[in-house]
Structure formats: C-alpha cells, structure tokens
Amino acid sequence: MKYFFLLIIMSSFGFMFYKGLKIDPSIVPSNLIDEETPNFQLKKVENYPLFDSKDLLKKEIKIVNFFATWCGPCKIEHPQLMELSSSFRIYGIAKKDNPQNITKWLKSYGNPFDKIGLDNDGISSIEWGVYGLPETFLINKDNKILYKHIGPIMKNDLEKINAFLK
Amino acid sequence: MIAELGVFFLILTLIVSSLGFIGPILKFNENSEVTQIKVSKLAFFCTISSFIILTYCFIISDFSLTIIEKNSNSQLPIIYKITGVWGNHEGSILLWLLVMTFFGFLFSCQRKIDAKFKEKTLNIQNTLIFLISLFILLTSNPFDRNFPPAIDGADLNPLLQDPGLIIHPPFLYLGYVGSSIVFSISIAILILNNNTKEYFEILKPWIFLSWTFLSCGIGLGSWWAYYELGWGGFWFWDPVENASLLPWLTSSALLHTIIISTKKNSLQNWTLFLSIITFLLSLLGTFLVRSGVLVSVHAFANDPKRGVFILLLLLAISAISFVLFLKRSKTFSNKIQINLVSREGAISLNNIFMFTLTFTILLGTVYPLFSNVIFNNKISVGAPFFNSILSPLMIPITLGMMFGPFLRWEKDDMNNLLSRIKILLIILFLVSLTVWYLNYKGPVLSIIFFAFSAWIITSSLFELSNFLSFKPRIILRKIPLRTFSQVSAHIGIALVILGATGTSILRIEQIQFQEINEVITAKNFKVKFLGIKMVEKENYKSQMGIFEIYKNNKYVKTLTPEKRMYNANKQVTTEAAIHSTVFGDLYIAIGDGNTLSKNSWTTRIWFNSFTIWIWIGVLFLVLGGMLSIFRFIKANK
C-alpha cells in the first residue's frame, strides 16, 4: 500500500515537472484581461482635470497610460501617445511623481491626456497590476480591459494597438 | 589540444566512477573496500585536473571553446576570467562534480570506519559521481568547441564581475553538494540494515560540515545581492533562493535529530529520512534552477534537454531511496516513547515545525508551475505568502530555541523547569519591556520580532551564565564546546531575525529628483547631492553620483553610487553605495538624469535598520558549526 502511495506521489510530481519543462514561465498575461477595470482613486494635478473611475464608463474605446516623469522609457513613448491621442481619449496615471514635474513635462513634450491623476502611494498601480513603467491598457466601451502593453509603445507597436482598437 | 585533455579527464572520471556500482556486482577484487577508496581518489584527481584545465583555458582566453566565448572577454580582469569558470551553467556543474568528488575523497581518507560501511558509502557516492559526470558529458560539456573560433568573447555578465562571485558559488556548492555524502552514508546505513550507534556517529560531522558551508554560502549570496549587486534587499523569496533555503532548513532539523540519535538511540529513522530529503531537495533545487521551469532573478540560460535529464535523475534517486527507506525503516525505529516535556520532546516538536516550514516553502515555490500545468493559470507566489507563513511558525521555533536547552533529557517536569529558570523569566520580562519602550511607536510586528530576537539572545546568555560560579570569587567553569556551538548558532539566528526585521519592516525609502546641492533627510542622516562625474575604467564607463553624508550636521563621508555601462555587451548595471553602521545602513542608488533640467537626477535613498546584524548573525551561525566540526576533529584524534 505504501509503495502504491509513493508511486502515485512521485509520478504526479514527475508528470508536472515534465510538463512544466515545456512551458515558458516568462510569458505572463494580465489577469485583468476581459475583466472590468479596477476601482481606483487618484490625486489631482493642478490645472489638469482629474481622472477617476467614472470616466471609464463612457461608451467608447479609451486608453489608460501609466507613466512618470522620472521614467526614461516614458519619454521615448511620448510621441506615440501624442499620435494616438488624435484618435482616442487617453487617460494618464502618474506613478510616484510630483505635480510640478508633471506640469513641466506636459508643457515641454505636449499633452496627450484627456484627464490625468497622480498615484502617489502606488496603490492604484497595484490595483491595476502595474509593476513597471510605462504600462498601457486598452479599454473597450463596456469598461473591460482588451489588452495590456508592457514597456514603452514604440512606432511599430502602434499598428498592433490600432488593430486592437478597430 | 589542452581542452581535449579536459574532456579526456572527464571521460576518465566517468569510467572510474562506474566501478562504484559495477565493482560490487562483478566482485573482481577480494578487497573491494580498497577498490572503492582508490576509485574515490582517482575520480577526485581526474575531476580536479579537468577543472584546472578549464580554468587555464579561461585564463588564456581560448575563445574556440563555446563557454569561454560566451562568458569571457579579452578585456576582462584576470580574477573574473578565473571566476568566470563557474559563472555559467557548464562550468558550475563541473564545480558541482568537483565538490562531490572532493567529499568522496575526504570520506575515503577518514580513518576508524569499518571496512564494509566505508565500502558501501563510497559505492553510493561514486555512483552519484558517475551519474553527474554522465550528465555533464551528455548535455553540458564545458569543453565544446565552436567553429570558426571567435576573435573575442561576449563578456562575462556584468553582474557577475564582482568579488561576490569568487566565493559565493563555491561555498554554496560545498554546502549543497556536501549533502551528497550525508545521503551516501545514510543509504549505506539502510543497505547494511544495521542500527548501530557507531554509524550515526560517523554521519554526524558530515551533517555539521555541509550545514556550515551551506549557511556560509547562503549568507554570502545574500550579502552579495545587498552590498554589491544593489538589489536593495537581502532576501527576495526568489525560487533560486528558496531552493537553497530548503535543504538548509532540513539540514538544520537534521543537526538536532542526529544528536538524539547518537545520544539517546532514538529517532534514527527520522534522521535517515531527513538526510535523504536534504540531498533530494538539493537535487530538486538544481533541477528548478537549471531547467528554467520557474521565473527567477537568477536568469540562468536553460535547455529543456538538461531539465529532462536532471528530472529523470531526481526521480530515479528518489524512488530508489524512498523504497529502500520504506523497506528498512522498521529496523531504525525504536519504540521508545518521547516525553513532550524533555529535551527530545522540544527538539522533536521543533523538527515538526521546521519540516512544516520546509514543506510550505516548497509548495509556494513550485505552486506557480503546478497551477500552470493543471489549471493553465499563471500565478506568482511572492514575499507576502512566504512572510505570512514564516511569521506564525517563528513563534514555536523561537520558544523551542529559548527553553529547549534548559530541558533535561528523557524526562523533565514543568514545575521543575520553571523553578530552574525563574530568574530567566524575570529577566525576559524586563527585556520585553525594554524592547517595547525602545520601539513602541514602531509597527506591532517589528516589536514582536525584536522581542523574539532579544529573548533568544537573553536565554542563550543565561545558559552560559550557568557556568559562572559566584563563590568565593567569580570563576568561569569550563564551558563545553558543545554548549558554545549551540549558543553561538542560536544567537546567530536571533541576530538574523533582528536584522531581517529592521530591514524589511522598518525600512524608509525615498525616491525623487534631486537637484544639485539639494539635501534629502533619511532617518537622522542628511544627504547632499553634489553632482555626477564621468569615470572610465578598463572594461566599463560609469556615471558616478557624488553625495555628502551628514549626521547631526557633521560631515561623515562621501558616497559614490554608480551607473555603469559595460563596453563589451553595452549592459547597464547599478552600483549602490552604502554607509553601514550598527544601527542601520544608508543606501543610495542613482537613476537617470532629469530630461527637463540638467541639474537634477533620480536618486533613491533608503535607510535600512540593523541590516549589518544579518551577516553578523550568519557569522555566529558559521562559528557555531565550525566549533562543532572542531570538536569532532579533536575527538577523532
């Protein structure tokens, strides 16, 4: 009997490890895909309208972008956001940043954002499952997340994103 | 040509070690003990020759070898050319084999062991050596040539161009692979089916030896990550870190049960079981690390073929040893009842908790893989899970460390114990009040863990004070080495708890754009940013931030964190700068410059409380282990 148990335990472990060898663990899809957007609360950045959960209820396709002025890749992505902003509403969430820097940043590079909010303690970023900057979410008209882009949106990513949005 | 000689020695190791299991079957020699001893020595000689040849190839930068082309560079300083030998998969598995043959060699030199037992142990060890050398030759030959040979190499990963790489992996392997000899001895005991105390006495020092090396290896790795790699912490619950922690936990449990087995003739079956499990966990760790089935910061290159081989090896060794254990364990179970209120009772109870901890950490480590395979669901199990299981389990483990040493062997009485330690209890109460008073504003968890740490230290010192006699003058009676090593190890754990609590719970972190001449305050330090300097070195260029540190408005020192860009592969690394004190570390790292203003840079400034005590704790642990080993050597003379 005990040998039988041993056999069962070992073969199931062996099976799982063997199967595991064929899976690439580094591919991590967002858990939030096809889910409704999480609730969040942000701080206002002066002179810019505050972005809050209600904005996502609008019956249209929209983009949520997590960025920070201290983040280098965010600067690389900025022109692409400007381009996207001509056809879609983009909402910005600045992570662990300060309002003066944000104002300076938007004045010198242009403002692609419809509304903006400051996530000072990083809690909203956790709600959205954001672990690095920049990250961008595409949201459909029913407030469900279509796609999550990790890292800066480059020129050649625009096609993929546009395809998604159409 | 010289590289071919390296392969030749590897093949020789394979052939020689195959006598480990062929020998007993063929019985071509009357005196098979001598054969096994010769095999062990020869295997060690062959492996070390092969290792030296590989090192030589690295030193002369023979880029016709694939691993040297991938992991070295002509500009690399000589010391990193040497450490580059184990800074890659193939070389590090060769180091594995070297350590394994080294332990076989050491055991073969040990005297006062009966011939049959020695022969069986070396049989097993040589069989393991055979399997690992087969693995190397089939899947990870370090002497593989590439054609046409490269002109220069791709460079050693910059993170590995660090003094930490010189010592961390070898020590870790000495501990990891050291458990192979513990395994071999235990299997030999099972095969001989002889429950004699003498065999367990032989097993004992090897457990202490591999445990000491493993503690040292893990401690060095943690130190390296924190001080040199600038990861900002000392422990991340990364699968690879867990893989080394698991055998450490079981061998810590083993350290305690072996004492009962040799002293009181009981729990032998549990001791054997833990020995087997410890080695299997080392193998499992190797599988997890080398096959790439889990996501880890230790991003080693991986190859599924290797994974399959190690998996088969792991399954075969587990199956054989578990079946053997199940068959023979009856011989090793004494029906002696263990009293809960006794030294054995405390150790057994603590063992249960340690084993629970091991099993839970194992589950947390492999669960993402299982969840992916069974439910097709990607999850990650991180620090919050591990911290939340560790915290409650620390309570019984702490209590055991505090009161266990005061319990009598075999049978004790609760009232009796209380009257013996009543002074200690009063002191503990005062200590708790002090801890609370010093830190009452801090988070509750930090107060609890600081108290744990203080309790263990207090009771350990109290244990030593029992050797003081006050009449007529204060005289210190001779303290047995055994007590010293136990007290040292327990204080070590207490200090690790102190440092870990301070670093993880009381950390202060500030990230900002810091203007030149701007002052940021962290705890009681003021950090003034003076600007960035460009520095050029042999194999990298670096942006060096210059920070002046003030404490109570007095200048303390200048710290220079760096961002380095390596020439050969254009990889960027962060070198943190740290000012360490006994109360905590000021830790500075620099990021990118502000794109909007030329005079400001992203800076991260931490204050980590009591961090240095983690490594002082590890030193105490290692000291405890070394004292024990010293005791065995003395007793054996």
Q: What is the mean pLDDT of residues B346-353?
A: 92
A60 pLDDT band, cuts 50/70/90, is: confident
The ranges assigned to domains in chain A are 32-165
A75 → chain B, closest CA residue: B595
Q: Is the pLDDT of residue A27 over 90?
A: no
Tell me the three state secondary structure of residue B473: coil
Say if residue B536 is exposed, middle or buried (CB neighbours under 10 Å; 0-12, 13-18, 19+). exposed
Which of B139, B317, B373, B512 to mutate to test binding with chain A, by most A CBs within 10 Å of its CB?
B373
The pLDDT, as a whole number, for residue A30 is 64
Q: Is the pLDDT of residue A12 over 70?
A: yes
The pLDDT, as a whole number, for residue B623 is 96
The pLDDT, as a whole number, for residue B592 is 73
Give the tens place of pLDDT for each residue, B57-72. 999 999 999 999 888 8
Alpha-carbon gap: A140 to the closest alpha carbon of chain B (Å): 24
At a CB cut-off of 8 Å and minimum separation 6, what does B212 contact?
B175, B621, B622, B625, B626, B628, B629
Alpha-carbon gap: B492 to the closest alpha carbon of chain A (Å): 35
Q: Does A107 touch chain B (CB under 8 A)?
A: no
CA–CA separation, A12 and A128 (whole Å): 35
A109 pLDDT band, cuts 50/70/90, is: confident
Say if residue B337 is exposed, middle or buried (CB neighbours under 10 Å; 0-12, 13-18, 19+). exposed
Per DSSP, the residues of B391-422 read HHHHHHHHHHHHHGGGSPSS---HHHHHHHTH
The pLDDT, as a whole number, for residue A96 is 82
CATH of domain B1-161: 1.20.120
Q: Is the pLDDT of residue A26 over 80?
A: no
Q: Which of B322, B369, B602 sits opposite A6 (nearest CB)?
A: B322
Q: Is the pLDDT of residue B341 over 80?
A: yes
Q: Which of A13, A20, A104 sits opposite B372 (nearest CB)?
A: A20
Alpha-carbon gap: B366 to the closest alpha carbon of chain A (Å): 9
The pLDDT, as a whole number, for residue B6 is 95
Q: Does B374 touch chain A (CB under 8 A)?
A: yes
Give the tens place of pLDDT for each residue, B149-158. 888 888 887 7
Q: What six digits make up the tokens of B592? A: 């990118």
- Which of B53, B45, B43 lies closest to B7 in space, CA to CA? B53
Give the tens place of pLDDT for each residue, B459-475. 999 998 888 766 666 66
Contacting A residues, span 46-85, partner chain B, CB-CB under 8 Å: 69-70, 72, 75
Alpha-carbon gap: A28 to the closest alpha carbon of chain B (Å): 7
Q: Is the pLDDT of residue A21 over 90?
A: no
Q: What six digits make up the tokens of A133? A: 């900057």
Which of A17, A31, A98, A133 to mutate to test binding with chain B, by most B CBs within 10 Å of its CB?
A17
CA–chain centroid gap for B325, Å, is 27
Which of A38-42, B155-159, B497-501 shows the lowest mean pLDDT across its residues? B155-159
Q: Which of A2, A25, A105 sits opposite B596 (nearest CB)?
A: A105
Q: Quick check: A16 and B326 CB within 8 A?
A: no
Which of A72-76, B354-358, B392-396, B466-470 shows the lowest mean pLDDT across its residues? B466-470
CA–CA separation, A14 and A9 (whole Å): 9
Q: Does B572 touch chain A (CB under 8 A)?
A: no
The pLDDT, as a whole number, for residue A100 is 86
B297 pLDDT band, cuts 50/70/90, is: low
The pLDDT, as a whole number, for residue B203 is 95
Q: What is the mean pLDDT of residues B446-461?
A: 94
A124 pLDDT band, cuts 50/70/90, is: confident
Q: Quick check: A21 and B511 CB within 8 A?
A: no
Give the tens place of pLDDT for each residue, B202-214. 999 999 999 999 9
Give the tens place of pLDDT for each residue, B525-564. 999 999 999 999 888 889 999 999 999 889 999 999 998 8
CB B482 within 8 A of CB B630: no
For A5-36, letters b (16+ CB in 10 Å) and e give: ebeeeeeebbebbbebbeeebeeeebebeeee
The pLDDT, as a whole number, for residue B1 is 76
**Given the DSSP bridges, would you call strands B600-609 and B584-593 parallel, antiparallel or unpaired?**
antiparallel
Q: Is the pLDDT of residue A24 over 70?
A: no
CB B618 within 8 A of CB B215: yes
* Polymer length of chain A: 166
User: Higher-confidence residue: B511 or B251?
Assistant: B251
Determine the number of helices (DSSP H) and then strands (DSSP E) in chain B: 18, 12
Tell me the three state secondary structure of residue B124: helix
Q: Is the pLDDT of residue B238 over 90?
A: no
Average pLDDT of chain A, as a whole number: 85
Amino acid at A30: S
The pLDDT, as a whole number, for residue B456 is 96
Q: Quick check: A28 and B380 CB within 8 A?
A: yes
Per DSSP, the residues of B191-256 read HHT---HHHHHHHHHHHHHHHHHHHHHHHHHHHIIIIIS--SSS----HHHHHHHHHHHHHHHHHH
Q: Which residues of A touch B369 (CB under 8 A)?
A: 16-17, 20, 23, 25
CA–CA separation, A109 and A92 (whole Å): 14
CATH architecture, range A32-165:
3-Layer(aba) Sandwich (3.40)
The ranges assigned to domains in chain B are 1-161, 508-609
In whole angstroms, how large is the CA radius of gyration of chain A? Answer: 20
Looking at the DSSP bridge assignments, the partners of residue B555 are: B550
Q: Is the pLDDT of residue B25 over 80?
A: no
Tell me the three state secondary structure of residue A70: coil
**What is the ipTM score, two decimals?**
0.81
Q: Does A140 touch chain B (CB under 8 A)?
A: no
Q: Other CB atoms closer than 10 Å to residue A107's CB: what's the count?
A: 11
Instruction: Count contacts between A and B (CB, < 8 Å).
Output: 77
Tell me the three state secondary structure of residue B467: coil
Give, in order, the Cα–Cα distances in Å from A156 to each of A19, A36, A161, A162, B133: 34, 28, 9, 11, 48
Which of B52-56, B283-287, B557-561 shows the lowest mean pLDDT across its residues? B283-287
Rounded to 5°, the CA angle B286-B292-B294 comes to: 95
B301 pLDDT band, cuts 50/70/90, is: low
B485 pLDDT band, cuts 50/70/90, is: very high
Q: What six digits make up the tokens of B172? A: 């870790």
Q: What is the mean pLDDT of residues A95-109?
A: 87
The pLDDT, as a whole number, for residue B299 is 56
Average pLDDT of chain B, as a whole number: 89
At a CB cut-off of 8 Å and minimum separation 6, what does B90 contact?
B67, B136, B140, B141, B142, B144
The pLDDT, as a whole number, for residue A31 is 66
Q: What is the mean pLDDT of residues B317-340?
A: 88
DSSP-assigned letter for residue A98: -
CA–CA separation, B320 and B305 (whole Å): 23
DSSP-assigned letter for residue B262: H
Q: Which of A14, A16, A70 sits opposite B513 (nearest CB)?
A: A70
Q: Is the pLDDT of residue B321 over 60?
A: yes
Give the tens place of pLDDT for each residue, B81-136. 999 999 888 999 999 999 999 999 999 999 888 889 999 999 999 999 999 999 99
Mean pLDDT comparison of B92-106, B326-340, B381-395, highest-scoring range: B92-106
Phi and psi at residue B447, to the nearest 5°:
-65, -45
Amino acid at A150: I
- Which of A40, A30, A61 lies closest to A143 in space, CA to CA? A61
Q: Does B592 touch chain A (CB under 8 A)?
A: yes
**Given the DSSP bridges, would you call strands A89-95 and A62-67 parallel, antiparallel or unpaired?**
parallel
CB B123 within 8 A of CB B185: no
Say if residue B341 is exposed, middle or buried (CB neighbours under 10 Å; 0-12, 13-18, 19+). middle
Tell me the three state secondary structure of residue B566: strand
Per DSSP, the residues of A8-51 read HHHHHHHHHHHHHHTS-TT----TTTTSBPPP---BPPTTSPBP
Q: Other CB atoms closer than 10 Å to residue A60's CB: what's the count?
A: 10
Above pLDDT 70, what percent of chain B? 95
CB B190 within 8 A of CB B328: yes
- Which of B390, B517, B409 lies closest to B448 in space, CA to CA? B390
User: Higher-confidence residue: B636 or B451?
Assistant: B451
A72 → chain B, closest CA residue: B592
B306 → chain A, closest CA residue: A21
The pLDDT, as a whole number, for residue B447 is 92
